[in-house]
Structure 1
Amino acid sequence: MIESNTITKGLDVQAIRQQFPALNRQVKGQPLVYFDNAATTQKPQVVIDALVDYYTNYNANVHRGIHTLAEEATALFEASRNAARQFINASSREEIIFTRGTTEGINLVAYTWGRKNIKAGDEIIITEMEHHSNIVPWQILCEEKGAVLKMIPQRDGVLLLDEYKKLLSSKTKLVSVVHVSNALGTVNPVEDIITLAHQAGALVLVDGAQSTVHLDIDVQALDCDFFAFSSHKVYGPTGIGVLYGKKHLLEAMPPFQGGGEMIKEVTLEKTTYADLPYKFEAGTPNIGDAAVLKTALEFVTKIGKEKVRHHENELLAYATGLLKQIPGVTIIGNAPNKVSVVSFVIDKVHPQDIGILLDNRGIAVRTGHHCAQPLMVCYGIPGTIRASFAMYNTKEEVDKLIVGLEKALKMLL
């Protein structure tokens, strides 16, 4: 095997690993090898400490209180909004809406912008490689409105842009596209997709659940109309996410939910709504996790996405090369531009059987359709085995994966 190395271009992986307590545990008597980062990342100690610190010292409801704890909690909550604005380079804090995650962000746009603007005969375009959360909301909307949902086809993990151009027309009102495929790792050419959509008069929503942790995100440079991502895939807590929207679009959209916080004034006859971003944040928010999002984003920024990206790409190339040497293995999705996700199948072996046997060796991978069933249908497979790498993974761990696969195949074949 290729010689392993845990220090790559200034990234001290061993020092990073020491900041993630979960990596110290054992599974089935073996040291944990965590290769399910596309599902969720592990949390560094600074994030864990920040969450404990919030509930220990600052717990209070935000915005409505004048006492000290309420003011301190509000300051932490809004500091995270500012951090998220900076992380994706939105033009103003009013364009940052806190949600429960990417799924809720997409649904918010479908239920508010969509219900107001989509009419019978209109068309929405997505891709064959979407996560279910970027398929189902649009199916619901199209069925309700009599609109048409179309898909950009892909071939071996690459979107066919010529076919996309053919789908665009004056009927196209929205293009909702995944930035990075969770099932394949493909980095889609969203810049070109956005430009072409705007030329056709359509808006664009970008699902950034998988891209935000790996790529440098600049929503102004992309010129996307909406962008959604989740904290828990960027080393932050679960249950909190961000929806970015261009200010003029958000201002024109009706509220998503009704209740406290999203109102300016309520009478029995009529309600006037709060200004952005609060119009879309009804009720008591997930304050603790939102406040800690800032800590996670600062953690990623301090380490440096470019250094992490280089390390993760090395792991991807290393793992892909070794997997191709195993008889019967087929890599699913071979786009030239990928993040650190390798998805594969093995002849005559069900992915779930491999997942169970790897887990017995302490190796965590994801098996199944990865909430991308239409994509699996394109390949004619029930699912894949997916290994996804993060800043704290090593080539030594990849070696363990390969050994685990070889031993599993001896048992199964």
Structure 2
Amino acid sequence: MSSRTSKETTEKHCVLCCQEVNIFALGKCDHPVCYRCSTKMRVLCDQKYCAVCREELDKVVFVKSLAAFSSLPYQQFPCEKKYDIYFSDEKIFAKYRHLLLPECLRCSEPTVFSKFEELEYHMRKQHELFCCKLCSKHLKIFSHERKWYNRKELARHRAHGDPDDTSHRGHPLCKFCDDRYLDNDELLKHLRRDHYFCHFCDADGSQEYYSDYPYLSEHFKESHYLCEEGRCASEQFTHAFRSEIDFKAHKAAAHSKNRAEARQNRQIDVQFNYTSRQTRRNEGMLSGEDYDELRQRGGGGGGRGRPHGGQKSWRYSREEEDREVAAAMKASMAQCRQEERAPMQDRGPMQERGPMQERGAMQERSAPKHCREERTERADPEDPKNRTGLIKPTSKPPGEKGTC
């Protein structure tokens, strides 16, 4: 129920102006709008597409009740051939024509004119009211939607806008021409088309304009480089340069009479800025001069590199220190090698093993524990079977005589 209600509400109100629709405008896409918005688009703005789906509409039908466009016999309807608008009856056609006619609403009896200029003349002579020329030129609206002002209200409208319309802040003024334009975009177009600007500063984002070229040339002299030699004095823009290098190259190529002058024009003054010694010292930078000053003030220690024989100044030498460090490292490595040889020399001859014994010991250590225990049981010296020497009988066999 709610969806049906919302659909009916949408169909009763125009999607563009949100006003209640009594006459619909339909195209082949079947998106309805009110006939006022459709007339404004097709007649005043010369836009023949659908405001909803942007599909190009070659024909539009004005009807009182909604229906599918394909079901309408629009070939039989009255037609405005210039704008391809068809009307379902004559009453709708009459409303369409009345919508476009200029009409004075201030008179007791509404007066209709054939042209807007006639209405403007009538309002000025009969009612002392004026319309804004800029608004009438750029705003595509119907005549009855135009605003009319007295002289004071018109001046306020042009400078500051209307009190009841906060979206309009007046028409911006060109200070060179003393003319106003519709908005800032139109003013910018005028400045770039009819006045001058620096193409170097414009590339950097600066928005500065000049009324004529002499003022721009003064800017080139002050902020850039301007060539005024020979025929360059009568040229515009092409004899201005951003950097001194480009300026020197131009003079060498275009205004050099001989090689010497060309060489002179190619010379560029280069300036170097050095920081003070105190600043460099504070930043952690040291030099030989710092050591010289330290020695002269008596702040040098008695370490390596101290001057001999009462010298007044000296320079720090890194090579001597490197040689001493290398000698110390060599002595330390020799001592380490000597300490490694000492345990080998302390071993006795009995402690040395043969290769077979060493291999057996290694196998013994690498064997599992239960295997080592088994070998121990097999090699029990108390067992007579395991003895390797001669077996001595413990008692004499019976019947054997002893020898003396």
Which TM-score applies when normalising by structure 1?
A: 0.18
Looking at both structures, which has the greater relative contact order when contacts are Cα pairs under 8 Å and sequence separation is at least 6?
1
User: Which structure has the bigger radius of gyration?
Assistant: 2
Which TM-score applies when normalising by structure 2?
A: 0.18
